[in-house]
Structure 1
């Protein structure tokens, strides 16, 4: 981690000239949008058919308290605003005064804080002490991702080693923090790390075999152009980080299952423990596989809708880089998840044997 630690100056290099400020919409001058040009007659109608301008009083930035006239946002995906709304504006210092600001989104700070408080209260009300440790673990996870993984990738460190080190640090701290010190947690940790390395190896082989570049979407392309990020490594890092959350769930379940079976029946041998816990693991995997596929399908729903709308041949669709990337994510993550069951179960069955002998 020390070798991969990012240079703070390099991590912020390449920041865009456009800044963001917040403001409140005080008045609006609404008018119908002009008809589309001949070239766009066949295009679907825009999401917003309202044009005009708005008076926006800035609440942040060097010109806070000043009111500017800003054009209303139009086009597909543009935010719909009303008088009294809090908005986020893009600020371009180099433009003339009348065109420096543009409304790009709603300001959601208050709503997000309310949702965050509700989330924390729900976790604490149900989980109590375990809920508190889970929240602390979640905070550590975000700290590692935002404080190490992302800055290191922006600092042109190799994304795959960065993801492996970051995931290892996360699972090392979070498992012991959430489940306590003990041999069951240690077995789950070992199983998670082994499965994580296997997932990394399989993902590297799959990405290389399918010649995936990692530049499947616009954000990845921008990162490659503006920051020189290794896009293939970034893809591998995303697969690892996405798999980690489900991996530790499975490994902890298997380790605890073996421990409880050994405690309930000290006469069970290692093979019997392994066989019984594996049956539990199969049932768990059957549900988790569906969870993984649905999670990726939900995240890629716009892509799936676009594929259906284009009505391309199935072979052409599956060969598309965007689709192939999602298939690799799902398949490799599932294989790593399946491998976690026998790895962790075998280790837990072996570790549980001395306690039964001593009894």
Structure 2
């Protein structure tokens, strides 16, 4: 049978033998119709990349990698089982983002890094830091008068679920987008404070905080580039398109698409920067208290994590 390639499928490099999904169109009783291409069957390729990813994580990270993958699965369950249904049913998007992100953080941190005071300090630091991009995102969306309807997907949603609060949906997306890199920074900061404490058990809370901040400043410098280029890569087609318009720069920056990405990047960036002192402060207070408990229990001040209750695994 012959299938006409139109639109993006004409540019996809299809070859004879490639798997595709088709549908019969224009058929009437006793008269066959033609065939229309729905999409290319990409499941085999996606499965191969998924297997390679899982194998790479398990080989390099071992047991910790397994728990990290398990946390990723649970995060997907929270996202698709709670957050998306709550959003489509019209629940307040910002509260959905906070509750869902808190659940994801709790599961991911404790699964991947074990139950310890160190992990708890990272969790508290992450949660406090998450409130910053949430508040700034909501403020930026309101002040910039962003509608949240700037893509084909959001336009389609207005036809299906026109009663959604799209500015709130935009804020929710900002919170979720920054969650991963925020979690990375906070767990690194908590671990840094613990390692400094192990190397210098005589250090005060202030000295622990100062040492942790020296490490955190280096981390900030590199992570800011990470989050900026991540957003730039995701919006590369948009950047290319807008760069071809012969319009003044101030006009381009004021467009809905550009303003969304700028507020998303800067809001997440501010939360990321503030996560370093917040998490470092929480960790400095927690590790000192844990060390005191360890000394009172006779377990030694050089391993304050042993004072944590429940099952323990080192980060």
**Contact persistence 1:224–1:230 (CA under 8 A):** no
Structure 2 counterpart of 1:72: 4
C-alpha deviation, 1:201, in angstroms: 0.8
Question: Is it true that 1:322 corresponds to 2:245 in the alignment?
Answer: no
C-alpha deviation, 1:91, in angstroms: 6.1
Question: Is it true that 1:255 corresponds to 2:190 in the alignment?
Answer: yes
Structure 2 counterpart of 1:13: none
Higher helix share: 2
The change in CA–CA distance for 1:154 and 1:355 in structure 2 (over 3 A counts) is: closer
C-alpha deviation, 1:152, in angstroms: 1.7
Which residue, out of 243, 250, 266, partners 1:331?
266
C-alpha deviation, 1:72, in angstroms: 1.0
C-alpha deviation, 1:81, in angstroms: 3.2
Which residue, out of 148, 156, 162, partners 2:82?
148
SS of the equivalent of 1:213 reads coil
Long gaps (5+) in structure 1 = 1-54, 56-69
Structure 2 counterpart of 1:19: none
Which residue, out of 133, 136, 158, partners 1:224?
158
Structure 1 counterpart of 2:217: 282
Cα deviation, 1:19-61, whole Å, max 9, x if unaligned, reads xxxxxxxxxxxxxxxxxxxxxxxxxxxxxxxxxxxx1xxxxxx
Structure 1 counterpart of 2:298: none
TM-score (norm 1): 0.77
SS of the equivalent of 1:132 reads helix
The change in CA–CA distance for 1:282 and 1:91 in structure 2 (over 3 A counts) is: farther
**Contact persistence 1:307–1:317 (CA under 8 A):** yes
C-alpha deviation, 1:149, in angstroms: 1.2
SS of the equivalent of 1:334 reads helix
Which residue, out of 123, 131, 134, partners 1:189?
123
Cα deviation, 1:133-170, whole Å, max 9, x if unaligned, reads 01101111111111111122122222221111111110
Long gaps (5+) in structure 2 = 296-300, 302-315
**Contact persistence 2:132–2:270 (CA under 8 A):** no
The change in CA–CA distance for 1:323 and 1:215 in structure 2 (over 3 A counts) is: same
Q: Which runs of structure 2 are paired with 1:230-241 in the superposition (5 Å)?
A: 230-241=165-176
C-alpha deviation, 1:127, in angstroms: 0.7
**Contact persistence 1:267–1:356 (CA under 8 A):** no
**Contact persistence 2:117–2:290 (CA under 8 A):** no
Structure 2 counterpart of 1:299: 234
Structure 2 counterpart of 1:83: 16
The change in CA–CA distance for 1:81 and 1:269 in structure 2 (over 3 A counts) is: same
The change in CA–CA distance for 1:195 and 1:91 in structure 2 (over 3 A counts) is: farther
Higher strand share: 1
State the number of aligned residues: 290
Structure showing greater radius of gyration is 1
2: CA distance, partners of 1:237 / 1:90: 36
**Contact persistence 1:278–1:345 (CA under 8 A):** yes
1: CA distance, partners of 2:95 / 2:47: 34
2: CA distance, partners of 1:257 / 1:91: 61
Cα deviation, 1:65-115, whole Å, max 9, x if unaligned, reads xxxxx54112455344333221123566x8657557411321011121111
Q: CA RMSD in A?
A: 1.8
2: CA distance, partners of 1:258 / 1:299: 34
Deviates more, 1:224-233 or 1:186-195: 224-233
2: CA distance, partners of 1:104 / 1:277: 54
The change in CA–CA distance for 1:91 and 1:151 in structure 2 (over 3 A counts) is: farther
C-alpha deviation, 1:288, in angstroms: 0.5
